[in-house]
Amino acid sequence: MPSAAGQPQSLTDEAYQLLRRQVLDCELLPGQWLSERQVSADIGIGLSPVRGALARLDHEGLVIIAPRRGYKVAPLTIKGVEELFQAWRIIGPAIARQAALNMTPADMKRYRAIIGRRPGKLSTAREMARRLGLADERFELLCQVAGNSIMTEIYRKLAGDQRRVFSFVHVTDPGSLSFLDEPADVEEAYASNDGETAARAVTDFIDRARAAIIGALQLSATVLSTELVPPADRIRRIG
């Protein structure tokens, strides 16, 4: 299978991309135990590439290697989600502000093209996964326009964790995600190079998202350090 750059993709890369998507979209749930043999059978890729892929996911903090026990999908906790939103509230508005200041008409055309591909509903897990993928694409564009490599690196770390949180909530309480559409004024701010309005709109969006997400997750845990696990009757697969 070719990579995005047109080069042949190794089996380890293929396994990594597949498993990473399954973790971020909560096909593999937080706290779920994995074995190399079972993963290999499930995705149809050999043990050695699967082992390499899981090692990469461990390095990213998405999977935890447990000697003699196998692998565990990194758990989510309310404390960890709170810390994620604290960090996102700093970096998200900063990227939005700089992107708005640098935005050209050509950049704005690309931004609107991404917005125009959003699914109209979030009733299925596939629609949710598509919406989150487009959100990643939109913010990658904003990072590119902002032109700050350090902010981009921080964003990419937060983006994976954020996608996993949103996917988890969609599994457990999809009705709490009605906030997902960004306010209309942020698009106008980008188009008019109004950095402060863009930053304020993104801050407001993050605050709404945090309130909705934390409210939903508090139904899954009684103390801050408890691992979040969806009720058995709400678990369903992406796809």
| pLDDT tens figures, 56-76 | 999 988 999 988 889 999 998
**CATH (domain of 137):** 1.20.120.530
Whole-angstrom distance, CA of residue 167 vs CA of residue 122: 11
Q: For residues 45 and 19, is the Cβ–Cβ distance under 8 A?
A: no
Q: What tens digit of pLDDT does each residue of 28-52 get?
A: 988 899 999 999 999 999 999 999 9
> Do residues 125 and 54 share a domain?
no
Would residue 172 count as lying in a domain?
A: yes
Give the pTM: 0.78
Q: Which residues of 53-74 are buried (b: 16+ CB within 10 A; e: fewer)?
A: bbebbeeeebbbeeeeebbbbb
What value does the mean pLDDT of the chain take? 85
Q: Is 17 exposed, middle or buried (0-12, 13-18, 19+ CB in 10 A)?
A: middle
Q: Which percentage of the chain shows pLDDT scores above 70?
A: 82
State whether 152 and 60 are in the same domain.
no
Do 208 and 225 lie in a common domain? yes
pLDDT grade for 133, boundaries at 50, 70 and 90: confident
CB atoms under 10 Å from CB of 149, counted, come to: 9
Instruction: Please tell me the predicted confidence (pLDDT) of residue 109.
Output: 96
List beta partners, residue 71.
34, 65
Same domain, yes or no: 96 and 205: yes
Same domain? For 94 and 163 the reply is yes
- When divided into structural domains, the chain yields a total of 2
Of 78 and 181, more confident: 78
Residue listed under structure tokens 């903090």:
61
> Is residue 206 domain-shared with residue 93, that is, in the same domain?
yes
Q: Which of 19-33, 112-126, 183-197, 223-237 has the lowest mean pLDDT?
A: 223-237
Range of the domain at 42: 11-73
Identify the burial level of 183 via C-beta atoms within 10 angstroms of its C-beta, where 0-12 means exposed, 13-18 middle and 19 or more buried.
middle
At 158-183, the pLDDT tens digits run 998 888 998 888 877 766 676 666 66
Asked if residue 88 and residue 55 are part of one domain, the reply reads no
Parallel/antiparallel/unpaired status of strands 33-34 and 70-73: antiparallel
Higher pLDDT, 132 or 94: 94
| Residues 58 and 143 occupy one common structural domain | no
Do residues 55 and 82 share a domain?
A: no
| Token pair 């402060």: residue | 196
| Residues 141 and 68 grouped into a single domain | no
Residue 94 included in any domain: yes
Least confident segment among 144-148, 192-196, 202-206: 202-206
Of residues 4 and 146, the one with the higher pLDDT is 146
**Residue 108 falls within a domain, yes or no?**
yes
CA distances from 51 to 18, 35, 45, 70, 135 (A): 13, 10, 10, 11, 30
Given 73, 100, 122, the domain boundary residue is 73
User: Do 220 and 149 reside in the same domain of the chain?
Assistant: yes
More confident residue, 138 or 224: 138
**Domain shared by 200 and 219, yes or no:** yes
